[in-house]
Amino acid sequence: MKELSSKKLPNDRKTFSQLSNSCFDQVYGLWQNFHSILITKLETLEVEIDVNMLLEKYINVLKAIKSMWIDLIIEKQNAFFVALLGNLKALLNAVCGPTPLQLPQTAKDRFHKLLLTYSKIVLNSEEGVLGGFARDIFELARQCIFVHSRNKDYFVERFVVNCLNQIKKIVDASANGIVTSQDMEELLRCLVFTFFPLSKEDLEEWEEDAEEFCSEEIGEIWKYNLRPSAETLFLTILHANPHHLVPVILSTLQSINARNAEDQSLETILTNDAVYSAVGLAANELFDAINFEQWFVDDLLPSVQRCQTHPQGKIVHRSVLRLVEKWIGVKPPTESRCVLYEFVISSLDGRMDMVVRLAASSALRTLLDDFEFDVDSFAPFQEQCTDSLHKLLQNTESGDAKMRVLHVFSFVIERLHKHVTSSIHKLAQILPDIWQNSESHNMLRCAVVSTLSQVVIALNRDSVGLHPFLLGVIHCSTDINSPAHVYLLADGLDLWLNVMQNATELTVDLMQLFGNMFGLLEISSESLKECFQIIECYVVLGAANFMSSQYATALSSAVQSLVTDVRDECLNIVACLVTKMVKVSPHETATVFHLYLRNTLEQVLHPEAYGILATNRLILIARLALHHAEGFWSVVEDLGGQRSGEVVDKLTQILCERIDTVAATLERKVLALASLVILDRLLRDQQALKICLPRALTVCVQVLFDVCDEDKIDTTVISGEVPNSTSQLETEDPHADRMRGLMYADPAHKISLLDFTRNCLQTIEEVFGNQDEMQQFLVTHIDPLILKDLREFL
């Protein structure tokens, strides 16, 4: 039945539904028969050896019903569910009765499996089916939870988890008072004082394997583990009725605060820990009711100090650190920030318990992840902080623990940057060993790669000294032939980008690393943007050296293949990248990317080419004309052949028509300058010149209004020499320096459009023979308003 029910095709579902309705009565009869026999044996204590076989049959029949009953007609569903709850109640009475269940261990295991199967059927039932039985189900689940709170030997943990999750499901769906305020209060107290305290097993694990004790539980672990399930239910009922339950939590907190401060028994410490856990979980509901900073300074911090010599004082210490982590994320500190810094960072000290140190590292990250974080106020603690994290990273043994500490260390570097350079060098010394020893732990390697990105950013130009290690990490992370790239690719690309942005020269090793890029361009549809950012760094860093290498030729082929099968978003990125290449190394780009430029010009001339992509392509062609006129005309002649004049005619018309689709002032100026550059080639062809001149001047006049101030000065022109050393530029990284230098060298920033227009007209005047003839031509071929504005500018 289970195999048949797993088929999902419509015809299979229909067949199974028919089968379920036809044979359900027979299976239902077997189920009731087995149940009656089992209850009789349990009541009369006639538990023979054959009870194992009976339980096995009972479980198999119940599993068959579990697969069938959802496909039954409504009447049969309701009848079955009534019987199901009745049978479950009878079984629970047998378990929870005054006489303990007397079964051999094997039979007891099967009996718990039977209860677990019942709980799964109820838990997985649709809300529509549960509606009329919600209160009955709630009562049964609550009974089991309270029984478990008194004696943990009655039920297996997984069954209790299902009961907790069942109540969560009912509370989430409850809108008509099925679960009362009194019910919620009783449950909340039960959860806090029974499920939240650390158990004997927890304390043993703390002592035997502290790092495993601190392992983080993520995802939907609450569906399967007891403590996360209890915490989830706690939050569910709290959010369902905060007005009633917040005072309950506050009264519970006051009750433990009112106890004798000298009471340091283990039971009291564990109870306090449980209540602190509840207050931490409820921080979002309690932040208006509790002044956490005052509570921390007046009560929590002294309690930690008092317990330092107690054998279990570390439990209190960890509790307070977890409270800090929860509350700081909800309500950042104002007055006690430095006190919190000192407490958390001192808790990282190597003399502290490992669990306390790991809790402190998590609290530290939350404490620094604040909009109001001030590096100067943290300055007195930064050296102790980074030294302690460095030692903690060395002291941890498991990959998961190292990963957690690395994430915190990486975040600290991100927040402090150059202020912790000495500690960064220490960290850089141990990262190669962690990388080498974590070949089978890809998530730890992810943390290493992520941390290295922050190290590179913080070290800036000094990161060049780490290239022998960094480039190997990048190669491993971005090599598509390595299985590890599935985990490391995103962080590896980020590291590669940061390394390129902070590199001072394009070395042979960096050039060889570029070989990994071609595989990524073939497969990485989701990371193409990052890939092209890295390529841009190569172009800007290596300039003509890179563009004249074999890699540039291979890149041209890869791009040509790529643009045939990607969306417009990617095509925009490619167009912008080639535009940057033209600005950096126009001659080499015109040669290497000739085919791409030819195709781009063809697409620009297409009559239906509109939108951002069409605009970026037009800017690319304009840039080519402005930076390398010979290369531009080579592309025009290749596309037009004997009809190149028609290509130019169409292009100048498009420049005139689409100038308003370009928003950026500088790019509008580029189009205007390109229009004038094109005219220079047409001086030998007066007929073509007379066609294109009115369009070019129309474009120029529109742009002159954008770039000129009241004194007719081109405000886009940057005066002064191009900076040629980093001492002249105060920027964040070498790549920013290079981009600034590229901006200073941009013809659009060096050439005054007004002067260029004036000089161009003087040259054209010679073609017309004299000024009068040219003026007469302009009067008859240019809009009067445009001509009037042009004369005013000139």
Alpha-carbon gap, residue 409 to 641, rounded angstroms: 62
Q: How many CB atoms lie under 10 A from the CB of residue 742?
A: 16
Average pLDDT (311-332) is 91
Q: How far is CA 676 from the centre of its chain?
A: 48
Average pLDDT (407-430) is 85
Q: What is the pLDDT of residues 175-207, one digit of tens each?
A: 667 889 999 999 999 999 999 999 999 999 999
Q: How far is CA 692 from the centre of its chain?
A: 52
Q: What is the pLDDT of residues 16-43, one digit of tens each?
A: 566 767 777 888 899 899 999 888 887 7
Cβ within 8 Å of residue 609, ≥6 positions away: 603, 617
Residue carrying the six token digits 């001149």: 693
Dihedral of CA atoms 298, 304, 308, 310 in degrees, nearest 10, equals 110
Average pLDDT (666-671) is 94
DSSP 502-541: H-SS--HHHHHHTTHHHHHHHH-TTSHHHHHHHHHHHHHH
Q: Which residue has the higher pLDDT, 47 or 50?
A: 50
Q: How many CB atoms lie under 10 A from the CB of residue 770?
A: 10
- List, in sequence order, every residue forming a beta bridge with 714; answer none if it has no partner: 708
Residue 640 pLDDT level (bands cut at 50, 70, 90):
confident
Supply the pLDDT for residue 729: 45
Question: Is a pLDDT exceeding 50 seen at residue 362?
Answer: yes
Percent of the chain whose predicted confidence (pLDDT) is above 70: 91
Whole-Å CA distances, 437 to 46, 402, 432:
59, 12, 9
* 3-state DSSP of 636-679: HHHHHHHHHHHHHHHHHHHHHHCHHHCCCHHHHHHHHHHHHHHH
Tokens read off for 757: 């227009």
Tokens read off for 617: 């392509």
Alpha-carbon gap, residue 243 to 286, rounded angstroms: 11
Whole-Å CA distances, 279 to 148, 187, 188:
24, 16, 12
Alpha-carbon gap, residue 555 to 553, rounded angstroms: 5
- Are 402 and 447 in contact, with CB atoms under 8 Å apart? yes
Residue 470 DSSP SS3: helix
Residue 728 pLDDT level (bands cut at 50, 70, 90):
very low
- Are 245 and 237 in contact, with CB atoms under 8 Å apart? yes
Q: Which of the 8 DSSP states describes residue 708?
A: B
Tokens read off for 171: 């509370």
* 3-state DSSP of 49-65: CCHHHHHHHHHHHHHHH
Long-range contacts of 394-397 (CB under 8 A, 24+ apart): 394/430, 395/350, 395/354, 395/357, 396/211, 396/354, 396/358, 397/211
Q: What is the pLDDT of residues 522-567, one digit of tens each?
A: 886 678 889 999 999 999 998 888 998 999 999 999 999 888 888 8
Q: How far is CA 697 from the centre of its chain?
A: 50
DSSP 115-164: HHHHHHHHHTS-HHHHGGGHHHHHHHHHHHHHHHHH-TTSS-HHHHHHHH
Tokens read off for 208: 């035997």
Tokens read off for 313: 């004082």
65-69, 447-451, 637-641, 678-682: lowest mean pLDDT where? 65-69
Average pLDDT (85-102) is 80
Averaged confidence pLDDT in the chain = 87
Whole-Å CA distances, 79 to 28, 41, 73:
11, 25, 10
Residue 347 pLDDT level (bands cut at 50, 70, 90):
very high
Question: Is a pLDDT exceeding 60 seen at residue 418?
Answer: yes
Question: Is a pLDDT exceeding 80 seen at residue 612?
Answer: yes
Alpha-carbon gap, residue 248 to 754, rounded angstroms: 77
DSSP 417-439: GGGGHHHHHHHHHHHHHHHHTTT
